[in-house]
Amino acid sequence: MNTPAPASPPRSKFVTSLAWSFIALSILGMLLNVIQLAIVSVMLSPNDLRLLSTDLRATQSLPDFVIPLVQHLHLWLGLMLLIDAFTLVASIALLRRREWARWTFVVMMMLGALSNVAGGIAPFFMQGYFASFATSMPAEMRGEFASMSMLVTWGSALFALAFAALFFWAGMKLLSPQIRREFAK
């Protein structure tokens, strides 16, 4: 007598939506990175980037931690392309309910939450750069610039913290027993 195979747990719309969202985002990210890499490769040689970084460091136009990103822009864009490609592979695996992809996404969501918290705090540390930039402006524009920079700083912080909460929630949801059952084989 044939016994029917046990029914697999129903597939949640959350996991399916998350997977498809990141499939679309990673493809878009890959396209944008390929375009940026092509433009930067055509327009700026590694020597040009080295000279630009030296000028930026000398004029203190950017914070010191940003200058190596400018100097090694080709490498940075290539790394972002690889991360987008990995995200695409992991997203497809998440759609297919692979356990390694669920854990990959848990880590990605938690790192996303942490990076958004850091991104929300970072503009407050950049106020000195905004203030030094404002000194080069006409006096009548300085007040408006200061108000605008404070509005952008607080808006960025709130936006980043909202995304941090969203990423944290998604990571925790992927750890829930209901979602874990979907990935059990």
- Domain assignment present for residue 116? The answer is yes
Q: What integer is the mean pLDDT of 95-117?
A: 95
Average model confidence (pLDDT) across the chain: 87
155 and 77 housed in the same domain: no
Range of the domain at 105: 99-185
78 and 16 housed in the same domain: yes
85 and 128 housed in the same domain: no
Model confidence pTM above 0.95: no
The residue from 96, 121, 154 where one domain ends is 96
17 and 42 housed in the same domain: yes
Look up residue 136 and give its two tokens.
Answer: 């080069």
- Domain assignment present for residue 47? The answer is yes
The residue from 96, 112, 131 where one domain ends is 96
Q: How many domains does the chain have?
A: 2
83 and 117 housed in the same domain: no
Give me the count of residues in the chain. 185
**pLDDT higher than threshold 90 for residue 120:** no
| Percentage of the chain modeled with pLDDT above 70 | 90
pLDDT at 3: 67
pLDDT at 1: 53
pLDDT at 119: 87
pLDDT at 9: 64
Distance CA 120, CA 123 (A): 7
158 and 80 housed in the same domain: no
Confidence of residue 13 (pLDDT cuts 50, 70, 90): very high
- Domain assignment present for residue 184? The answer is yes
87 and 112 housed in the same domain: no
88 and 103 housed in the same domain: no
DSSP string, 65-125: TTHHHHHTHHHHHHHHHHHHHHHHHHHHHHHTT-HHHHHHHHHHHHHHHHHHHHHHHHHHH
Confidence of residue 92 (pLDDT cuts 50, 70, 90): very high
The predicted-structure confidence for 158-171, as pLDDT tens digits, reads as follows: 999 999 999 999 99
122 and 178 housed in the same domain: yes
